[in-house]
């Protein structure tokens, strides 16, 4: 796998190949953590972008081998297909740890921002149910968690031009009322969070998704999940992540993820 998209076949007669790509190159550190990354785009991305996202770049700088999966390809960004495609990418990588890190027991993470964070959270829930013990951690970067969009902080979404985009994205992803009631689609309604992989949850004081992200992190912790919650100050310009823009937050995210991995490795 290179920095170009490649179709990776997965088990399942009705499942199309999943495009995946490696950011940069495989880490030269034996046993480096492997990160399966899902980008955002508010459930509205339609094609494989060649532009690497700064989130993936920051995780590579932290020493990880980062592999992005295009969960939207073949799923039209709809639940449950998009989440299922992402989960199958995780199941595939779980059997390829030695290939990408030199060790069969390397730590394996899912990560994503915004809509990709929703996918990562849903995959983490399913991994607990289907592949217990395979997932080492989840990196949830301002994930879209609550389709109701009624929190106090969400009122700031118009200020950064995201309110309508997120509303349209949720409507497209869920498709019908049944999807909105499934915990893999809307993790905020999940009533059983215990046993999920440890989480590094990131938001910021000026993030429109702050309240729902903060609330989900607290519920994970209350369920006995090991949670590291980081709330960035406005000076780091964290909301720029929604536009795929780099910023001051990148170095901080790099260090936070490196610390998260260190703690889990002890």
Which CATH number characterizes residue 145's domain?
3.40.50.1820
- For residue 1, what pLDDT band results from cuts at 50, 70 and 90? very low
Mean pLDDT throughout 162-183?
Answer: 87
Taking the CB of residue 206, how many other CB atoms lie within 10 A of it?
A: 18
The answer to whether residue 27 is domain-embedded is: yes
| 164 inside domain | yes
Range of the domain at 122: 6-265
Per the domain annotation, does 117 fall within a domain?
A: yes
Q: Which pLDDT score, from 0 to 100, does residue 14 have?
A: 44
Q: What percent of the chain has pLDDT over 70?
A: 90
> pLDDT by residue (tens digit) across 222-235?
999 999 999 999 99
125: pLDDT strictly greater than 60: yes
pLDDT score at 186: 94
DSSP state of 201: E
20-31 pLDDT per residue, tens:
889 978 888 889
Q: pLDDT averaged over the chain?
A: 91
- pLDDT above 80 (res 191): yes
3-state secondary structure of 220: helix
Residue 12 scores a pLDDT above 80: no
The tally of domains found in the chain comes to: 1
Secondary structure of residue 237 in the 3-state scheme: coil
Percent of the chain with pLDDT over 90: 76
257 within some domain: yes
User: What are the residues facing 66 on neighbouring strands?
Assistant: 35
- The answer to whether the beta carbons of residues 2 and 77 sit under 8 Å apart is no
Model confidence at 5: pLDDT above 60: yes
In a domain, 43, yes or no: yes
* Helix (H/G/I), strand (E/B), else coil: 157: helix
Evaluate if residue 200 carries a pLDDT over 60. yes
What's the pLDDT at 24? 79
Mean local confidence (pLDDT), 152-158: 97
Does 107 map to a domain? yes
Omega within 30 of 0 (cis) for the link into 161? no
Kindly state whether residue 1 falls inside one of the protein's structural domains: no
pLDDT given at position 47 = 58
Range among 1-10, 26-35, 114-123 rated most confident: 114-123
Predicted TM-score of the model (pTM): 0.94
Which band of pLDDT confidence, cut at 50, 70 and 90, is reported for residue 45?
A: confident
pLDDT (average), residues 233-253: 96
- Is residue 54 within 8 Å of residue 241, measured between CB atoms? yes
pLDDT band at 4 (very low <50, low <70, confident <90, very high): low
């Amino acid at each position: 796998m290179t920095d170009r998209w490649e179709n990776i076949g997965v088990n399942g007669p009705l499942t199309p190949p999943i495009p995946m790509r490696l950011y940069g190159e495989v880490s030269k550190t034996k046993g480096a953590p492997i990160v399966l990354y899902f980008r955002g785009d508010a459930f509205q991305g339609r094609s494989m972008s060649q532009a690497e996202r700064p989130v993936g770049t920051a995780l590579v700088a932290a020493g990880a081998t980062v592999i992005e999966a295009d969960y939207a390809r073949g799923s039209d960004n709809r639940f449950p297909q998009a989440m299922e495609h992402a989960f199958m990418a995780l199941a595939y990588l779980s059997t390829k740890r030695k290939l990408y890190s030199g060790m069969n027991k390397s730590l394996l993470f899912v990560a994503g921002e915004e809509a990709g964070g929703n996918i990562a959270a849903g995959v983490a829930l399913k991994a607990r149910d289907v592949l217990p013990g395979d997932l080492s951690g989840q990196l949830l970067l301002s994930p879209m968690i609550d389709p109701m969009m009624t929190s106090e902080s969400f009122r700031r979404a118009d200020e950064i031009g995201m309110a309508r985009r997120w509303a349209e994205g949720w409507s497209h992803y869920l498709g019908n009322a049944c999807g909105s009631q499934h915990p893999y689609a809307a993790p905020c309604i999940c009533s059983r969070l215990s046993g999920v992989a440890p989480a590094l949850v990131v938001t910021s004081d000026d993030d429109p998704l702050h309240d729902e992200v903060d609330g989900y992190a607290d519920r994970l912790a209350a369920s006995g999940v090991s949670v590291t919650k980081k709330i960035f100050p406005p000076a780091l310009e964290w909301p720029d992540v929604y536009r795929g823009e780099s910023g001051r937050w990148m170095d901080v995210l790099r260090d936070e993820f490196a610390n998260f991995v260190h703690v889990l490795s002890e």
